[in-house]
Amino acid sequence: MARIAAGEEEALPAEVVERLILGENPIRVWREHRKMTGPALAAAAAVPNGYLSEIERGIKPGSVDALAKIAKALDVTIDDLCRFGL
């Protein structure tokens, strides 16, 4: 609780945690939690929208560079995107 109060960690709604635990794509979960559209996230991360869509749908794994850009745009760590098996 101290880390949350200090702004070092974010408290997540139970719905977000449940979606991650159930195996939904973490990029999509975080994007929707941040209230971003796919095209908005793609633009913020400077990755092609089609590529982001393929990563979210599990067609492509995403390069480390792309995942780093996406994580930065979502204000999360790469670990947050991969922890639940991207």
Residue 55: which of 75, 41, 44 has the closest Cα?
41
Write phi, then psi, for 37 (nearest 5 degrees).
-85, 165
DSSP H stretches of helix in 1-86? 2-5, 14-21, 26-33, 38-45, 49-56, 64-74, 78-82
Burial class (CB in 10 A: 0-12, 13-18, 19+), 16: middle
* Model confidence at 86: pLDDT above 90: no
For 36-78, the pLDDT digits (tens) are 999 999 999 999 999 999 999 999 999 999 999 999 999 999 9
Task: Write out the residue range of the structural domain in which residue 16 sits.
Answer: 2-82
Cα separation, 10 vs 85, in Å, equals: 20
How many structural domains is the chain composed of? Answer: 1
pLDDT at 7: 54
pLDDT at 69: 98
Domain CATH code at residue 53: 1.10.260.40
